[in-house]
Structure 1
Amino acid sequence: MKKTVLAVTLALANAAHADSSVVVPFDGSFEDATFAVESAIVDRGLVIDYVSHVGEMLNRTGADVGSDVQLFKEADIFVFCSAVVSRDVMEADPMNIAHCPYGVFVAENADGVMVGYREYPEGEMQQVQALLAGIVADAVEN
């Protein structure tokens, strides 16, 4: 178990960064990844406010905007907040409201299934980044 946690932690530390996002490959199906992410969020006592089906929207509207490029086979973003972490970061700076709510995405493209999240600024917002890193680590580990 400790080796797995260490491996996932190292993978997260070395994860590909694209446009300020941390992206970690998921060894399994899109459905397995979405279940793992949902479970990792809920297991922390957090409530998922919304699941944005970005992949469906992009696939549905491609022709309407003159594109035939399929960016993702599937892609969902789990949107949620943490009362404890949000209060901490907003008491430090109320303008951290701009970063709330938080999201973890699951996507599948030609390269496979991936799980990730947006990077946050240095300082108190690293509490949020640590929360998201833990959720992704738990999801990828399962």
Structure 2
Amino acid sequence: MKKLLTLILCAGLFAAPVMADNHAMQETDHAITYAFEGEFDDATFAVETAIVGKGLVIDYVSRTGAMLERTKGDVGSDVKIYDAADIFLFCSAQISREVMEPDPMNIAFCPYGIFVTDTDGEVRVGYRKYPDGDMQKVQALLDEIVQDAVSD
């Protein structure tokens, strides 16, 4: 009986994080995204708040979705890719120094970006994947910011 109870308790401990995660993560070869429960504008506000909350400064917000929609006819397309899509670009002096001191060519990855997309009412927040090694420090920072944004 004790073994059965222990097994049930252990199974519950391992299952709890899965059941608590209502922000489904998706991973591709080049990006990691999380579902956002809410509207696009709420997601962009949450991302901005999470970035600034880390003491970081947003250098630029790329309105990529609006640009793609505005120029689709100019490039001979009629495909609407996103209902909305923005990319927040920023840097971290601390993390950038940590990754560029050992390899100055890691400048190629700066600035760092977090994107918010809305496709057919599905809002996702994500970031590009970085190579193994020192750049995993950046990826960890981005994941922490995105997790803060989607959990609000």
Q: CA deviation at 1:15?
A: 2.3
| Contact preservation (8 Å) 1:23, 1:117 | yes
**Alignment RMSD (CA, Å):** 1.8
Q: Which amino acid aligns with 2:146?
A: V
TM-score by length of 1: 0.90
Which residue in 2 is equivalent to 1:99?
A: 109
CA shift digits 1:33-73 (9 cap, x unpaired): 00000000000000000000000000000011111100000
Which residue in 1 is equivalent to 2:96?
A: 86
Which residue in 1 is equivalent to 2:145?
A: 135
CA shift digits 1:79-109 (9 cap, x unpaired): 0000000000000111100000000000100
Fraction of identical pairs, as percent: 58
Q: How many residue pairs get matched?
A: 135
| Contact preservation (8 Å) 1:11, 1:24 | no
Q: Does 1:70 align with 2:75?
A: no
Give, in whole Å, the separation in 2 of the partners of 1:23 and 1:38. Answer: 16
Gaps of 5+ in 2: 1-16
1:1-12 alignment to 2 at 5 Å? Answer: none
1:42-53 alignment to 2 at 5 Å? Answer: 42-53=52-63
Instruction: Write out the 4+ residue segments of structure 1 that deviate beyond 3 Å after TM superposition.
Output: 9-12
Which residue in 2 is equivalent to 1:3?
A: none
Bigger-Rg structure (1/2)? 2
Gaps of 5+ in 1: 1-5
Give, in whole Å, the separation in 2 of the partners of 1:50 and 1:123. Answer: 27
Give, in whole Å, the separation in 2 of the partners of 1:25 and 1:68. Answer: 27
